[in-house]
Chain A
């Protein structure tokens, strides 16, 4: 995934487990605020988000705080497009991320496994 690739210019190695592990430190700048803003937004915790916005504003700057919300809201839409169409991984992504998908637990999100888990009631 691009989180790993994006560390290359800065010669940084980001912890990909931070994507699925609530407590892992990603190593990304202002990772705590990125996580807090993103999670409150995606989980519709609007009352929680208001003070987080204020604190993140001070910590990382207004524009960076706002742009965090901009990216999160965009992906709140595009993930639903992927999930509603059942598209397969792009071929090169499929090949490049086998180990990463297993180690981070993302593999359990694949559509066949979801069907096995969530459609059981109707089978």
Chain B
């Protein structure tokens, strides 16, 4: 992903909650995250990550809470999966057949999708997406998986980067998938229909004139996936006046370097 040059009012995008530095988990919530670290983390970030964990454990519009937790487990399994390692070494990921080192009973096509997103994002292609669709998975189901997996990638990456054990997976909440009303989406050249834009001020941003960046519109088929993912992401970046102990140029260099390492075109 290149960091997109957005339009006016970009400061409204991805605001970061900066408050005090003392984190006190609320009773009844999941185990406090990051309590073992001696590094300074902002309370807003910790609360956001805890909220993400709680949200993943609840049924989503197209998957149960147990299935969503299983997606996170599979994402973690991908980091030590032998098949994924062999595929990364091959000229094409399709050159190596085999079975993933899996830890769940998710459908094989979903397991493969998750392992590829987690272990080899640079080589995700339209072909992979088409294979998932041809297996009977709907675009909405696909997007919900993308949201859950990548929200968890953010949480897991920060834990590991700080030298912490990964957060314990939450207990899945019972219940069937909730369903959702039809989303307001449009075809604009992505693999999936994306949000029309500026439909959810306050959730993603408040940009006017239908000019939300495409990354903010990309999961528009499943609005709850947008909310989940950006709850995790917001404390990590802002397009302007970044309220971190970094200059904006430093943040852009980090972001650009990650994009290059993951071979992200956007």
Interchain CA distance A73-B91 in the complex, whole Å: 27
Q: Knowing A80-B262, A83-B124, A92-B7 touch, does A71 contact B215 (C-beta < 8 A)?
A: no
Q: Knowing A39-B261, A83-B122 touch, does A75 contact B255 (C-beta < 8 A)?
A: yes
Mark each residue of chain A from 14 to 31: 1 if its CB lies under 8 Å from any CB of chain B, else 0: 101011100000101111
CB pair A2 B194 closer than 8 Å? no
CB pair B259 A79 closer than 8 Å? yes
CB pair B265 A89 closer than 8 Å? yes
Q: Which of A68, A77, A93 is the most central at the interface, judged by chain B CB atoms within 10 Å of its CB?
A: A77
Residues of A94-117 contacting chain B, CB below 8 A: 96-97, 101, 106, 109-111, 114-115, 117
- On chain A, the residues within 8 Å of B253 by CB distance are 3, 14, 18-19, 26, 28, 31, 34-35
Interchain CA distance A77-B146 in the complex, whole Å: 10
CB pair A83 B252 closer than 8 Å? no
CB pair A87 B215 closer than 8 Å? yes
Contact of B92 among A16, A82, A96, A119 (CB under 8 A): A119
Q: Knowing A38-B257, A67-B244, A72-B161 touch, does A6 contact B214 (C-beta < 8 A)?
A: no
Query: Range of interface residues on chain A?
Result: 35 or more
Q: Which of B104-112, B167-175, B198-206, B234-242 contacts A (4 or more CB under 8 A)?
A: B234-242
- On chain A, the residues within 8 Å of B160 by CB distance are 41, 44, 46
CB pair A106 B117 closer than 8 Å? no
CB pair A77 B232 closer than 8 Å? yes
CB pair B249 A12 closer than 8 Å? yes
The verdict on A59 contacting chain B, using a C-beta distance below 8 Å, is no
CB pair A77 B246 closer than 8 Å? no
CB pair B254 A64 closer than 8 Å? no
Interchain CA distance A13-B79 in the complex, whole Å: 38
The verdict on B69 contacting chain A, using a C-beta distance below 8 Å, is no
- On chain B, the residues within 8 Å of A122 by CB distance are 92, 94, 127
- Hey, which bits of chain B sit against chain A, CB under 8 A? 1-7, 39-41, 45, 79, 91-95, 117-118, 121-127, 129, 143, 146-147, 149-151, 153-154, 157-158, 160-163, 188-192, 194, 213-215, 217-219, 229, 232-233, 235-237, 239, 244-266
- Hey, which bits of chain A sit against chain B, CB under 8 A? 1-3, 5-7, 9-10, 12, 14, 16, 18-20, 26, 28-31, 34-35, 37-39, 41-44, 46, 49-50, 53, 61-64, 66-90, 92-93, 96-97, 101, 106, 109-111, 114-115, 117-122
Other than the given A19-B256, A70-B158, 17 more pairs (CB < 8 A) read: A6-B252, A28-B250, A30-B250, A42-B257, A53-B163, A71-B236, A72-B254, A72-B258, A75-B259, A77-B232, A81-B146, A83-B122, A83-B263, A85-B194, A87-B266, A111-B125, A114-B265
- 11 A-B pairs (CB sep. < 8 Å): A3-B256, A6-B247, A39-B257, A42-B258, A43-B261, A78-B233, A79-B264, A80-B149, A83-B124, A83-B266, A89-B266
